[in-house]
């Protein structure tokens, strides 16, 4: 009796568990995926190598000739174009021909496109001013009318102009394997170009909405504005049945299919040696698909090489008969020819996995990870970002999730400490001492790193930094010694020349406060960790003197979005204003080599202007960014430290996406060396044409760079990086400057809020 009863209960329980399990399964699918990596040490992976290109050349296009040779068209440093074949050894280049000598690039003559045919001929587009209408001097907004010319080049480089009927700007062009040029010009459908008559005939029927296309074997794939991938027969141009598996895999991989530049494409196609084989490549990797088949396999995982590097743009893809791949790409520095070969002995999945965690997304870090993985094929760095635009999680929830993972023992190995409660982590012994790593690293600004020391240990090394500066005429600059004298000077300048700004007119009080924050914040926290209200009150008082509510131009904040708020501490936007005599005083953080170049240009072009590090309420301050630490609970501490060492090398530090200046001196030097002379920058408000100003960048002289570096070497006081204190201080600034509360009340309000936080 009893036994039966127990049985029935157990049965009932099992049944209901079964129902529940059924529910859970559907949602928990991604658990399995992770598990499959465990099948240990499966071997075989494609490895990436860079094929050395001729020095300082930029490559237009690449093609695989019928005999399998890889051919490129490039432009050298002098602006001359030539066509090269890759020799059998796979690393040296043999010139096939030079393009006409009169095509040498000048300020007004460009070769904009070169497309190579597998049969050996080529098609080129040149751009030059139309007729005699030369540019009218002085009017900077009116660019001269440019005109395109089209040429067919035979196998020896002899150019014949093609009398193309459509005078439109070419978007994309590609030769088919039969030597037919398929091209897409602005406002025209995908067409075939007749080299004799210049006539365009529609290539595919019913694809008006096409943005770009790719060719694989006998199929041409068009991508339209909605991101739909539609196949057409290459020979008849008739639409084929939609290849569901192909479209779905591409769409679901989460890559954006929109076009952002005309040079690079988000999606490349290539045919394989088999008829039905399709290869395609995105930032996620290179995939193989059989036409209309049900499977698409990932051949090369983009997260393990340059493909996943946000800095890499894709230009063209070729698959060879011996299952190798060539991808022509470009990054912010130069063209890249990537060669992928299969290595039997390399583990399919890298053996060491390093988990990295950052609260916010950071492009430099992703770029560095990509570089690191390429060099260390046995390491996979998995970066998790806490707060992303799509997950909408608050910073505090993201930190809670991180905390739980650490407590559960599967936390990250490498931590980006920006925005993390570092004090608490240190107090609980969760961070590893990185003094050794800092000592080993070469060419670091050691003052910046050792400024982070506490009790003789370094728990976080900043990878980037920014530094507060003040820019003004030399006499005024001399008078500025602290926040009070900055305010005195601002008032003086405002009185003597009311037409010039002393603070950014498009910045409201909170933002101006943000520009001064890093030069002052270090003075607000007393030794016992509590807030020094007196000094904070001083901040608000002087801020009110500097800020001019009447000069504030309210622009619709909606238009800028959130990025606007993030970069408000920057001096960048104001540099141009000084250059064209609109502002008399600028202050704020310098974030990038580009800003530094603007500053140097201003100093070189205009007499009497100078800059120096801004001493607010604290002297020699800097804002550490991308503070990187290693978890003391990590099971791969040595590997993690090795990775951090790499992050500090010149190579990694040269990566530049605007997230701060490198802490490696040589990397900063080399960034400055690469500044392009002659680039013109301009800015203005769309509703006010008079606001338009521009500057032609000069390459900073070695002295100018040396001067800046000597300033950097003086910095030894990190600004407060605590975001809760920052929010509290900045949020009171608005009310204080609007006169709703006195500086004393504002300081008290901050103290009340922050004391509670510090008491926790």
Partner 1 sequence: MIERKKIPRGQTGFLFVLPSLVGVTLFILIPFVDVVRRSFVGAASGIWVGLANYQTVFSNRAFRLAAGNTLRFEGVCIPLLLVLSLAAALLLDSLKDHVQFFKGCFLIPMAIPVASAVLLWKVLFHERGLLSGLMHMLHLPEADWMGTSWAFWILVVSYIWKNLGYDMVLWLAGLSGISPSLYEAAQVDGAGRGQCFIYITLPGLLPSLFTISVLSVLNSFKVFREAYLVAGDYPHESMYLLQHLFNNWYRDLSMDKMAAGAVVHAGAIFLLVLFLQRKWEG
Partner 2 sequence: MIWKKMVMFPLALLAFAAVYPICFLLAGSLMGSGEIKESLGAALGGSAGYVQIPWLPRYPTLVSYVELLLDSPEFFVMFWNSVKLVAGILLGQLAFGVPAAWGFAKGTFPFRKALFTVYILLMMMPFQVLMLSDHLLLDRLHLLDTHMGLILLSVFSTFPVFIMYRFFDGVPDALVEAARLDGASQWQIFFYVGLPLGSPGVISAMVLGFLEYWNLMEPPMTFLKSKELWPLSLYLPAIGLDRAKVAFAASVLALIPAIFVFLAGQDHLEKGIAAAAVKE
- Selected from 173, 181, 190, 406, the binder of partner 1 by CB under 8 A is 406
Angstrom distance (rounded) from CA 67 to CA 324: 15
- Out of partner 2, partner 1, none, what residue 756 binds, judged by CB under 5 to 8 A for its kind, is partner 1
Whether the Cβ atoms of residue 413 and residue 636 lie closer than 8 Å to each other: yes
Length of the chain (residues): 760
Angstrom distance (rounded) from CA 290 to CA 278: 6
- Selected from 394, 410, 481, 701, the binder of partner 1 by CB under 8 A is 394
Min separation Cβ 406 and partner 2, Å: 11
CA angle 325, 329, 335 (to 5 degrees): 125
Min separation Cβ 388 and partner 2, Å: 9
Q: Does 425 bind partner 1 (CB under 8 A)?
A: yes
**Residue closer to partner 2, measured from CB, 42 or 560:** 560
**Residue closer to partner 1, measured from CB, 19 or 759:** 759
- Selected from 156, 260, 424, 606, the binder of partner 1 by CB under 8 A is 424
Angstrom distance (rounded) from CA 558 to CA 561: 6
**Residue closer to partner 2, measured from CB, 284 or 625:** 284
Whether the Cβ atoms of residue 520 and residue 464 lie closer than 8 Å to each other: no
- Out of partner 2, partner 1, none, what residue 27 binds, judged by CB under 5 to 8 A for its kind, is partner 2
In the sheet that holds 93-98, the strands lie side by side as 58-64, 70-75, 81-86, 93-98
- Out of partner 1, partner 2, none, what residue 19 binds, judged by CB under 5 to 8 A for its kind, is partner 2
**β-bridge mates for residue 584, sequence order:** none
**Residue closer to partner 1, measured from CB, 703 or 760:** 760
Give the per-residue contact string, 1-20, with partner 1 (x = CB under 8 A; - = no). Answer: x---xx--x--xx-------
Angstrom distance (rounded) from CA 423 to CA 757: 13
Segment interacting with partner 1 (CB under 8 A) among 42-50, 280-288, 422-430, 599-607: 422-430
**Residue closer to partner 2, measured from CB, 138 or 409:** 409
Kind and range of the H or E run holding 23: helix 2-27
Tokens coding 129? 């001013």
What is the DSSP-derived secondary structure letter of residue 321?
T
What is the DSSP-derived secondary structure letter of residue 240?
P
Size of the site for partner 1 (CB under 8 A): 28
Angstrom distance (rounded) from CA 450 to CA 438: 8
Min separation Cβ 420 and partner 1, Å: 9
- C-alpha distances in Å from residue 451, one per residue of 446, 447, 479, 631: 8, 6, 28, 20
Q: Does 756 bind partner 1 (CB under 8 A)?
A: yes
Nearest by Cα to 59 from 70, 44, 46, 48:
70
- Out of partner 1, partner 2, none, what residue 391 binds, judged by CB under 5 to 8 A for its kind, is partner 2
Segment interacting with partner 1 (CB under 8 A) among 319-327, 399-407, 584-592, 675-683: 399-407
- Out of partner 1, partner 2, none, what residue 390 binds, judged by CB under 5 to 8 A for its kind, is partner 2
Min separation Cβ 414 and partner 1, Å: 17
- Out of partner 1, partner 2, none, what residue 37 binds, judged by CB under 5 to 8 A for its kind, is none
Tokens coding 756? 């509670």
Angstrom distance (rounded) from CA 236 to CA 206: 13
- C-alpha distances in Å from residue 203, one per residue of 213, 251, 598: 11, 25, 48
**β-bridge mates for residue 90, sequence order:** none
Whether the Cβ atoms of residue 153 and residue 159 lie closer than 8 Å to each other: yes
**Residue closer to partner 1, measured from CB, 146 or 395:** 395
- Out of partner 2, partner 1, none, what residue 558 binds, judged by CB under 5 to 8 A for its kind, is partner 2
**β-bridge mates for residue 613, sequence order:** 469
Using only the alpha carbons of the chain, give its radius of gyration.
30
Whether the Cβ atoms of residue 311 and residue 655 lie closer than 8 Å to each other: yes
Assign 372 to helix, strand or coil. helix
Tokens coding 340? 């992928």
Angstrom distance (rounded) from CA 587 to CA 503: 8
- Out of partner 2, partner 1, none, what residue 436 binds, judged by CB under 5 to 8 A for its kind, is none
**Residue closer to partner 2, measured from CB, 202 or 384:** 384
Tokens coding 720? 């407060």
Angstrom distance (rounded) from CA 484 to CA 490: 10
- Selected from 396, 565, 696, 701, the binder of partner 1 by CB under 8 A is 396
Tokens coding 361? 């997304």
- Out of partner 2, partner 1, none, what residue 430 binds, judged by CB under 5 to 8 A for its kind, is partner 1
**Residue closer to partner 1, measured from CB, 1 or 136:** 1
Angstrom distance (rounded) from CA 673 to CA 134: 33
Min separation Cβ 116 and partner 2, Å: 41
**Residue closer to partner 2, measured from CB, 633 or 651:** 633
Q: Does 751 bind partner 1 (CB under 8 A)?
A: no
Whether the Cβ atoms of residue 373 and residue 360 lie closer than 8 Å to each other: no
Min separation Cβ 27 and partner 2, Å: 3
- Out of partner 2, partner 1, none, what residue 25 binds, judged by CB under 5 to 8 A for its kind, is partner 2
What is the DSSP-derived secondary structure letter of residue 740?
S
**Residue closer to partner 1, measured from CB, 323 or 723:** 723
Min separation Cβ 13 and partner 2, Å: 7
Q: Does 360 bind partner 1 (CB under 8 A)?
A: no
Nearest by Cα to 590 from 707, 676, 416:
707
Q: How close are the terminal C-alpha atoms of the chain, in Å?
A: 59
61: how many CB neighbours lie within 10 A of its CB?
Answer: 22
**Residue closer to partner 1, measured from CB, 425 or 524:** 425
Min separation Cβ 682 and partner 2, Å: 28
Give the per-residue contact string, 593-622, with partner 1 (x = CB under 8 A; - = no). Answer: ------------------------------
Min separation Cβ 508 and partner 1, Å: 16
- Out of partner 2, partner 1, none, what residue 429 binds, judged by CB under 5 to 8 A for its kind, is partner 1
- Out of partner 2, partner 1, none, what residue 342 binds, judged by CB under 5 to 8 A for its kind, is none
Min separation Cβ 402 and partner 1, Å: 9
- Out of partner 1, partner 2, none, what residue 396 binds, judged by CB under 5 to 8 A for its kind, is partner 1
What is the sign, positive or negative, of the torsion defined by CA atoms of 428, 433, 434, 435? positive
**Residue closer to partner 1, measured from CB, 328 or 406:** 406
**Residue closer to partner 1, measured from CB, 402 or 661:** 402
**Residue closer to partner 1, measured from CB, 425 or 622:** 425
Applying the rule CB under 8 A, the residues between 708 and 747 that interact with partner 1 are: 724
Tokens 């037919």 correspond to: 180
- Out of partner 1, partner 2, none, what residue 679 binds, judged by CB under 5 to 8 A for its kind, is none
Footprint of partner 2 (CB under 8 A): 5, 8, 12-13, 15-16, 19-21, 23-28, 30-31, 390-393, 397, 400-401, 404, 407-408, 410, 557-558
Coarse DSSP helix, strand, coil percentages of the chain, rounded to the nearest 5 percent? 30, 30, 35
What is the DSSP-derived secondary structure letter of residue 699?
P
Whether the Cβ atoms of residue 536 and residue 524 lie closer than 8 Å to each other: yes
**Residue closer to partner 2, measured from CB, 334 or 404:** 404
Q: Does 431 bind partner 1 (CB under 8 A)?
A: no
375: how many CB neighbours lie within 10 A of its CB?
Answer: 9
Q: What is the largest CA-CA distance in the chain?
A: 108
**Residue closer to partner 2, measured from CB, 9 or 42:** 9
* Contacts to partner 1 by CB under 8 A: 1, 5-6, 9, 12-13, 394, 396, 399-400, 403, 406-407, 421, 424-425, 428-430, 633, 724, 752-753, 755-757, 759-760
């Amino acid at each position: 009796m009893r036994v039966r009863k127990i049985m029935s209960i157990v049965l009932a329980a099992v049944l209901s568990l079964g129902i529940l399990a059924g529910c859970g399964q559907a949602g928990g699918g991604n658990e399995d995926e992770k598990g499959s990596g465990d099948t240990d040490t499966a071997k075989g992976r494609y490895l990436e190598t860079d094929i050395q290109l001729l020095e300082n050349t930029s490559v237009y296009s690449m093609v695989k000739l019928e005999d399998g040779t890889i051919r490129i068209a490039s432009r050298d440093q002098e602006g001359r174009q030539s066509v090269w074949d890759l020799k059998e050894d796979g690393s040296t280049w043999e010139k096939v021909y030079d393009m006409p000598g009169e095509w040498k690039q000048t300020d007004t003559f460009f070769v904009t496109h070169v497309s190579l045919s597998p049969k050996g001929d080529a098609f080129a587009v040149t751009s030059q001013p139309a007729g005699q209408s030369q540019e009218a001097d002085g009017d900077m907004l009116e660019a001269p009318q440019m005109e395109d010319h089209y040429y067919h080049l035979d196998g020896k480089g002899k150019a014949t102009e093609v009398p193309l009927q459509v005078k439109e700007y070419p978007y994309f062009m590609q030769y088919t394997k039969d030597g037919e040029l398929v091209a897409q010009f602005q406002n025209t459908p995908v067409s075939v170009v007749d080299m004799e008559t210049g006539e365009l005939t529609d290539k595919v029927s019913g694809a008006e909405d096409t943005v770009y296309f790719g060719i694989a074997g006998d199929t041409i794939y068009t991508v339209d504005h909605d991101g739909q991938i539609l196949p057409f027969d290459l020979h008849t141009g008739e639409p084929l049945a939609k290849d569901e598996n192909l479209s779905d895999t591409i769409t679901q991989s989460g890559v954006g299919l929109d076009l952002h530049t005309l040079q690079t494409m988000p999606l490349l196609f290539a045919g394989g040696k088999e008829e039905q084989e399709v290869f395609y490549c995105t930032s996620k990797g290179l995939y193989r698909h059989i036409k209309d088949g049900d499977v698409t396999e990932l051949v090369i995982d983009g997260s393990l090489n340059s493909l996943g590097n946000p800095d890499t743009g894709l230009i063209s893809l070729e698959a060879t008969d011996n299952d190798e791949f060539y991808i022509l790409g470009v990054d912010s520095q130069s063209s890249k020819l990537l060669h992928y070969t299969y290595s039997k002995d390399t583990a399919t999945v890298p053996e060491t996995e390093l988990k990295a965690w950052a609260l916010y997304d950071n492009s430099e870090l992703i770029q560095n990870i990509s570089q690191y993985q390429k060099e260390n094929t046995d390491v996979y760095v998995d970066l998790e970002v806490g707060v992303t635009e799509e997950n909408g999680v608050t910073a505090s929830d993201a930190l809670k999730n991180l905390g739980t993972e650490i407590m559960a023992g599967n936390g990250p190995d490498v931590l980006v400490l920006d925005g993390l409660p570092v004090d608490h982590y240190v107090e609980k012994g969760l961070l590893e001492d990185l003094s050794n790593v800092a000592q080993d690293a070469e060419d670091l600004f050691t003052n910046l790193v050792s400024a982070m020391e506490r009790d003789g240990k370094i728990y976080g090394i900043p990878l980037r930094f920014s530094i507060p500066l003040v820019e003004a005429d030399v006499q005024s600059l001399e008078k500025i010694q602290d926040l009070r004298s900055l305010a005195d000077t601002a008032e003086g300048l405002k009185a003597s020349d009311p037409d010039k700004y002393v603070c950014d007119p498009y910045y409201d009080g909170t933002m101006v406060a943000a520009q001064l924050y890093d030069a002052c914040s270090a003075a607000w926290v007393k030794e016992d960790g509590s807030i020094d209200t007196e000094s904070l009150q001083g901040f608000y008082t002087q801020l009110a003197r500097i800020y001019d509510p009447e000069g504030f131009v309210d622009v619709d904040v909606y238009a800028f979005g959130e990025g606007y708020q993030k970069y408000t501490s920057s001096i960048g936007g104001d540099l141009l204003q000084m250059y064209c005599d609109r502002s008399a005083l600028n202050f704020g953080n310098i974030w990038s080599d580009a800003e530094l170049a603007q500053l140097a240009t201003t100093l070189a072009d205009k007499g009497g202007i100078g800059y120096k590090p801004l001493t607010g309420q604290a002297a020699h301050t800097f804002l550490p960014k991308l503070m990187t630490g290693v978890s003391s609970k990590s099971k791969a501490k040595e590997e993690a430290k090795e990775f951090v060492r790499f992050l500090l090398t010149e190579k990694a530090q040269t990566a530049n996406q605007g997230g701060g200046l490198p802490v490696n001196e040589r990397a900063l030097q080399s960034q400055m060396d690469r500044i392009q002379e002659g680039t013109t920058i301009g800015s203005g408000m769309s509703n006010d044409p008079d606001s338009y100003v521009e500057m032609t960048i000069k390459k900073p002289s070695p002295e100018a760079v040396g001067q800046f570096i000597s300033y950097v070497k003086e910095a030894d006081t990190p600004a407060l990086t605590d975001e809760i204190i920052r929010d509290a201080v900045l949020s009171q600034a608005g009310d204080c400057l609007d006169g709703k509360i006195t500086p004393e009340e504002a300081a008290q309000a901050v103290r009340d809020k922050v004391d509670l936080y510090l008491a926790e």
